[in-house]
Amino acid sequence: MKSVLVILVFLAGFSGATAVSSFREAADLVYDRILDNDITGKAVSVLDKPVSQGMVIDSWHDEVTAPFDGYLVLVDDMVYANWAHPCRWVFVSSGGNMETVKMMTPPDDLEHMEVVHTCIPDHVDDSGNGQYENFLEWFKPNVQSTSERAAHMYALIISGGYNKSNNHIRYYGDVQFIYNVLAHDYLLPDDHIVVCFADGTNSAPDQSGGLNSNPDLDNDGDNDIIYDATSAGVEKGFSAIDSMIGADDHLFIFTTDHGDEGKPGNQAPEVILNLWNKQSYDDDKYKTKLSDMTYASCHAAMEQCFSGGFLLEHIGGTSSSPSTFASAANGTESSWAGKTYPEYNEFIYYWTGAMHGSVPPAGDLSGGDLPGNPDLNGDNCVSFFEAFDRAKAWDTYAQSGKEHPQWDDDPDSCGEQYYLGGKISTAIEDDSHQPVTGDLNLSGNPLGLMATVNFTMGATGNVDITVYDMYGRVVETLLHEELSPGRHSIKWNAGGLASGVYIIRFETADLVETLRAVKF
């Protein structure tokens, strides 16, 4: 049930009463008197029809009653952010009086609101294509896995959009980018990628710009969007994955669009992912669903607002298997489209770009090369941790402190051992079916004065163990020699290291393994 907001801030006493006779005049008055003609970071929209006293106006979670006859103006105070985020509903009377309600979501009738003032510049596309065609023209596969590995990989992609007014083109862009990376870089079969998006395969327009989302994400002639992103559709998506995945398989979960607090009055993390048709999926349901499934490992990348509130539930729901979690925001804040507006959300744009090896044009960005090399440890695989770390470093809103990307992995450092191709390992077996090398671990992490690096050699061979910082620079070579089969340990004097995160890279002729070490 929606709550009714009745606390209003009364704004009066402006010098020179102003008569208001149209919705645009109401928007102009708010722009002048409330924003002082400063639209930086904001947008002003107005409902294209009058409101009457006592009229109940719905938002996502609340109802607001119009205090008098007049007009409804929306001030979006964080126009580049995803909902939920601070905004103001300003009721304007014909005599120029204004009353303001502080909100976190827009009116449900947003599609009938005209943008009158905005800080967002016109985005001109001279190609004659839409975003869908422009992306496909840009995208070239960068194969980084094998069909054998892909046979053990599954992915669930969810983007609800809430409703047509709020289902922006950037959510489709996020989904199209990750789908093509999974299908054509990491070679996952079509049926291993389950997509729940907005209204599914319905042919009616479902985007805020009036377009219908093309369900064929890679233009190969078949629908890649399988289910809608209602509660029922997401349940079908999880069930489809559950019916295919087994103990030797790896699961990747990707979410974008809007998020919010899930249980008003409780402290986060108690959050939701907004779904289609004003529905939602909360963190507790998510944890239960993951707990009921069987897999070798499970990994999540989430873009929506409040997405970090899913962290504890993800790690808790996957506690019996290795897992990683990455999000654009913490459990109490909004996430941002940022410099990649309007085509993509910035954090997940760089996260997916790290996995692909380059990024598409977006906003005023020309695309192409990444800001740096995401393969920090040089093992020719971009791990889940590396993708998170580089996305956080390249996301301008993370660097400015407006969003705080979250990360965790369980067991510690397993994020360096998995990527979209499964487990990062090229180990082969000898005739006795004993592994050549592997089982890398670190005793004493977080690092103190001394630590011990442990590993196994299944056969005689050369081994290199190297320590890198998070910029990919060699800090120290711990070992470079030939060793006999068996379990080995080497001591590492880490007392002189500065505080930070380090990557330990273990390499033989047949295998590369990495793990993460932290020095406080």
Q: How many residues does the chain have?
A: 520
Site of tokens 């805020």: 208
**Do 37 and 170 share a domain, yes or no?**
no
Rounded to a whole number of angstroms, the CA Rg of the chain reads 26
Name the domain count of the chain.
3
Q: Answer for the pair 69, 244: CB distance below 8 angstroms, yes or no.
A: no
Of 423, 454, 476, the last residue of a domain is 423
Q: 315 and 221: one domain?
A: yes
Same domain, 403 and 447: no
Q: How confident is the model at residue 14 (pLDDT cuts 50, 70, 90)?
A: very low
Q: Do residues 44 and 73 share a domain?
A: yes
Provide the CATH number for the domain around residue 453.
Answer: 2.60.40.2550
| 209 part of a folded domain | yes
Question: Could you read off the pLDDT of 409-462 as tens digits, one per residue?
Answer: 999 889 999 999 999 874 433 333 344 457 788 888 889 899 999 998 888 889
CATH of the domain at 274: 3.40.50.1460
Q: What is residue 443's predicted lDDT score, i.e. its pLDDT?
A: 87
Of the CA atoms within 13 Å of residue 428, those in its CB half-sphere come to 5
The CA-CA-CA angle for residues 317, 153, 223, to 5°, reads: 105
User: Residues 412, 312: one domain?
Assistant: yes
- Residue 12 is part of which domain span? 3-118
| Paired strand residues for 158 | 196, 255
The amino acid sitting at 480 is H
The pLDDT assigned to 269 comes to: 56
- Contact yes or no for 445/412 (Cβ under 8 A): yes
The answer to whether 210 and 172 are in contact (CB under 8 A) is no
Same-domain pairing of 200 and 279: yes
CB 290 within 8 A of CB 317: yes
Q: Tell me how far apart the alpha carbons of residues 464 and 20 are, in angstroms, rounded to a whole number.
A: 76
Same domain, residue pair 370 and 468: no
Query: What DSSP character marks residue 359?
Result: B
> Tell me, what's the pLDDT at 502?
85
The answer to whether residue 272 scores a pLDDT higher than 70 is yes
170-204: per-residue pLDDT in tens?
A: 999 999 999 999 999 999 999 999 999 999 999 99
Residue 57 shares a structural domain with residue 164: no
Is 292 found in the same domain as 196? yes
Closest by Cα among 472, 436, 470, 433 to 455: 436
Instruction: Give the model's confidence band at 104: pLDDT under 50 very low, under 70 low, under 90 confident, else very high.
Output: very high
CA angle 265-267-270, nearest 5°? 95
Residues with Cβ within 8 Å of 345's Cβ and at least 6 positions away in sequence, in order, are: 82, 170, 171, 174, 256, 303, 328, 335, 336, 337, 338
Phi, psi of 241 (to 5 degrees): -65, -45
